[in-house]
Amino acid sequence: MTKTAFIGLGNMGAPMARNMAKAGCDLVLFDLRVDVCSALANELNVASAAGLDDAAKAADIIITMLPNADIVAAALFGPGADCLADGLEAGNIVVDMSSSYPATTQATGKRLADLGVAMLDAPVSGGTKKAVSGELAIMLGGDDEAALETATPVLETMGRIFRTGPLGSGHALKALNNFLSATGLAAASEALIVGQKFGLDRGTMIDVINSSTGRNNSTESKFHSLILDDNFASGFALDLMAKDLRAASQLAGELGLEVPILKQASEMWSKADEQLASGADHTEIYKYLEDNAI
Ligand code: NAD
C-alpha cells in the first residue's frame, strides 16, 4: 500500500488522519505541535516524523492540511531549514487538502513538476463533523492522470471525491463555496438582528426560516446549536473563512470580473477578523454584525 505522510493535524487534519488509519492506510504524521503529533501517532499506532524533510522521505504521497497557501508553500520549500522539498523524490505526489489560493497552487505545482513530483489540490467541505464521519466533499483537481488514480483510494477514506478539473480548480471551487457559505451565514445573522430588534424571537425565526425559502446550511446547522446557544465553537476559525473569501475575491480580480457582493463580503469578513479576538470562531461573525448594527 502507498505510504502517506499527513502534515497538519489540527481541527480537520486529526480526524481525517484517524479515518485514513481506520481504513488501513500506511501513515506517517507530522505537525509543528510535537505533542499533538506524537499523541495522535500513539493513538493510531502509526509513525510520526521528526520533521517535514523526514516525513517526505518516508512517504510516496504527501498530504498537507495547513492553514493557508503561504504556509503550504513554506512547508514545501522553506525559507525554514526543514522543508518537504528536501525529502521529496521524483514520482512522489503532493496533495494539498488545505483551502489555498488557486494561483499559488498552480505556481507550486510548476515548482514541484521541476522535481518530478506531481501536485493535486483536494480541498474539502463539511467541517469537523464530516471530517470525523469520513463524509467530506473532496474537490479534486490535477493534471496528472496517474497521480489522480494513485491518490484516489487514499482520499476516498476521508469522503466523496468530486473531480473538478486541472490543478487549482479544487481550490477555486472551495473558495467560491465558502463565499456562498459565509454570505449565507452573514445574511441570516443580519435577518435575525433586525427581527430581534423588531420583537421577533430568534429561535422562532430560525424554525420558520428552516421551513421557508430563506433557509441555508447555516440556518439549518449553525444557528440553534452554535449561535443562539452562545456556543460559538464550530472548529472553523473566522480568520480561515476570511482567507477563503479573499481567495475568491482575488480569483475574481485575476479574471477581471466586477462582483460587488463578493467584494463587499470579503472586505466585511476581513474587517471582522481584525476586530474580533484572535482565534475567534467563524460563527462569531454574528457578534461582529450585532455589535456594528447599533
Ligand atoms: P487548524 O489551525 O486547526 O490546524 C492547522 C494545523 O497545522 C495545526 O495543528 C498547526 O500546528 C499545523 N501547522 C501549521 N503550520 C505547520 C507547518 N509548517 N508544518 C506542520 N504543521 C503545521 O486548521 P483547520 O481548521 O484544521 O484547517 C486546516 C485547513 O482546512 C485550512 O486551510 C482551512 O481553511 C481548511 N478547512 C477547515 C475546515 C474547518 O471546519 N475547520 C473545513 C474545511 C476546510
Regarding whether 252 and 143 lie in a shared domain, the answer is no
Regarding whether 156 and 13 lie in a shared domain, the answer is yes
Regarding whether 51 and 158 lie in a shared domain, the answer is yes
Regarding whether 154 and 27 lie in a shared domain, the answer is yes
Question: What pLDDT score does 59 carry?
Answer: 98
- Taking alpha carbons only, the member of 236, 210, 281, 17 closest to residue 126 is 236
CA distance readout (Å), 117 to 62, 236, 290: 10, 31, 48
Question: What pLDDT score does 36 carry?
Answer: 98
pTM of the model: 0.98
Atom of ligand 1 nearest to the CA of 100: 32
**Gap between the Cα atoms of 172 and 103, Å rounded:** 9
Atom of ligand 1 nearest to the CA of 9: 9
Question: What pLDDT score does 143 carry?
Answer: 98
Q: Cβ(11) to ligand 1 under 6 A?
A: yes
H or E element, residue 7: strand 3-7
Q: Cβ(242) to ligand 1 under 6 A?
A: no
Regarding whether 111 and 142 lie in a shared domain, the answer is yes
| Residue that is last in its domain, among 165, 197, 231 | 165
Residue nearest to atom 16 of ligand 1 (CA): 32
**Gap between the Cα atoms of 222 and 185, Å rounded:** 8
Atom of ligand 1 nearest to the CA of 235: 41
List, for the chain, all residue ranges whose pLDDT scores fall below the cut of 50. none
CA of 235 to the centre of ligand 1 (A): 10
CA of 75 to the centre of ligand 1 (A): 13
By most ligand atoms within 8 Å of CB, the mutation choice from 29, 65, 128 for ligand 1 is 65
Residue nearest to atom 29 of ligand 1 (CA): 98
Domain count, the chain: 2
**Gap between the Cα atoms of 192 and 199, Å rounded:** 10
Regarding whether 13 and 149 lie in a shared domain, the answer is yes
Regarding whether 283 and 200 lie in a shared domain, the answer is yes
Query: What is the chain's mean pLDDT, rounded?
Result: 98
Residues contacting 168, CB < 8 A, separation 6+: 102, 103, 105, 106, 109, 121, 141
Regarding whether 187 and 81 lie in a shared domain, the answer is no
- Taking alpha carbons only, the member of 291, 174, 294, 287 closest to residue 238 is 287
| Residue that is last in its domain, among 165, 181, 209 | 165
Backbone angles phi, psi at 191, to 5 degrees: -60, -40
Q: Cβ(98) to ligand 1 under 6 A?
A: yes
Question: What pLDDT score does 51 carry?
Answer: 98
Range of the domain at 218: 172-293
Q: What is the DSSP string of 107-156?
A: HHHHHHHHTT-EEEE--EESHHHHHHHT-EEEEEEES-HHHHHHHHHHHT
Question: What pLDDT score does 1 carry?
Answer: 58
Look up the CATH number of the domain holding residue 111: 3.40.50.720
- Taking alpha carbons only, the member of 181, 190, 187 closest to residue 248 is 181
Backbone angles phi, psi at 57, to 5 degrees: -60, -35
CA of 237 to the centre of ligand 1 (A): 10
Active site amino acids: 174
Q: Given the C-alpha cell 469520513, which residue does it identify?
A: 134
Regarding whether 130 and 66 lie in a shared domain, the answer is yes
- Taking alpha carbons only, the member of 140, 102, 120 closest to residue 4 is 120
Regarding whether 45 and 189 lie in a shared domain, the answer is no
- Taking alpha carbons only, the member of 25, 9, 24, 31 closest to residue 61 is 25
Residue nearest to atom 13 of ligand 1 (CA): 8
Regarding whether 153 and 57 lie in a shared domain, the answer is yes
Q: Cβ(236) to ligand 1 under 6 A?
A: yes
**Gap between the Cα atoms of 210 and 112, Å rounded:** 46
Regarding whether 152 and 67 lie in a shared domain, the answer is yes
Residue 102 and residue 168 in contact, taking contact as beta carbons nearer than 8 Å: yes
